[in-house]
Amino acid sequence: MPPKITFPLIIIFAFLGRAQFCQADDKAQQPTDVPLPRVIEYPWMNLEQWRAFHQGDLDRAKAGPVDVLFLGDSITECWDTRGLEVWQKQYAPLRAANFGVGGDTTQNVLWRITEGGALNGIHPGVVVLMIGTNNIGLMKDAPTDIAKGVSAVVSSLRELLPEAEILLLSIFPRGETPDNEYRLKVVATNKLIEPLGQHEHVTWLEMWNPFLKGDGTMSKDIMADFLHPTTHGYEIWAKTMKPTLEKLQRKANQG
C-alpha cells in the first residue's frame, strides 16, 4: 500500500474552492495511487458539492451499521437516482450504503477512505468497488497508471477493512462501438486489474457482456450516454452481480 502522504498546499486550495489550482498540465503530475481530495471543479459538480457528498458519507457511517458498501464514482452514485427503485428492493434490506461520488478518480477515492475517514466506524462484510473510468475520460491517464490506482484502493481497503470481502467489478464498457477510444482504454485497464481478484478476500467480477449487444455495440436503452446506466442498466447490474454478491455475503457471515 502506498504511504499516506499529505499535501497541505493542495488540501488548502481544495477546501478554499480554488478549482483552477490544477490546470491541464498538472493532471499528469497527479499520481493515480496517491490520496488526493477533489481539486477540479466541473460544470456538473463544484467543490462545495463534492465536500457535501463526502460529509454525507461520514454521516451515513455514523448513522448505523453498514453491511454492504458500494464505493466508486458517478456510476455508483446514481444508484440514488436512476437505480433507486432497484436499490430499495435489492440493497436497502441488506443495510447497504452508497459511497459513490460523481467525477471521482482513484486518487479521490483513496483520499476519501484514508485521510477523509469515510470508513471510520463501519465494518461492512462486503465492499463493492468500481473505479477508474474518470481517470480515463477526465484525467487521460494511461491504463498502467489507472491499474496502479485501483490496486492502491484495493490495498487500502484490505488494510482498513481486513475482514471484508471486496467485490472488484470490471470498469463498465463505455462508448457506443467496440473501437471507441474510451472503450479500448477500458478494455486495456480491465486486463491489468483483473489479477487483483487473485488476492485474499478480493473477488473479480467481469461486468461487460450483459451491457452490450452481440456485435459489441451499446444500446441507449442500457446506457443513454454510453457511460452511465439507465434504470434498465441498473437492473442488469443487480441481476448480473446478485449470485456473486450473495456468495460473498455468506462467506463474510461465516467468517
Kindly name the residue from 54, 57, 67, 228 that is annotated as catalytic. Answer: 228
Within-domain flag for 191: yes
Within-domain flag for 135: yes
Within-domain flag for 1: no
How many structural domains does the chain have? Answer: 1
Within-domain flag for 158: yes
Within-domain flag for 186: yes
Let me know if 215 is a catalytic residue.
Answer: no
pLDDT single digits (tens) 203-235: 999 999 999 999 999 999 999 999 999 999 999
Kindly name the residue from 74, 151, 156, 170 that is annotated as catalytic. Answer: 74
Residue 165, domain extent: 8-254
Let me know if 33 is a catalytic residue.
Answer: no
Predicted confidence (pLDDT) at residue 194 exceeds the cutoff of 50: yes
Within-domain flag for 80: yes
Provide DSSP, the chain.
-------HHHHHHHHTT-GGGS-HHHHTTS-TTS-------BTTB-HHHHHHHHHHHHHHHHHS--SEEEEESHHHHGGGTTTHHHHHHHTGGGTEEEEE-TT--HHHHHHHHTTT-TTTT---SEEEEE--HHHHHTT---HHHHHHHHHHHHHHHHHHSTTPEEEEEPPPP-SSSTT-HHHHHHHHHHHHHGGGGGSTTEEEE---GGGB-TTS-B-TTT-TTSSS--HHHHHHHHHHHHHHHHHHHHHHHH-
CATH number for position 168? 3.40.50.1110
Let me know if 73 is a catalytic residue.
Answer: no
Within-domain flag for 97: yes
Within-domain flag for 2: no
pLDDT single digits (tens) 153-187: 999 999 999 999 999 999 999 999 999 999 999 99
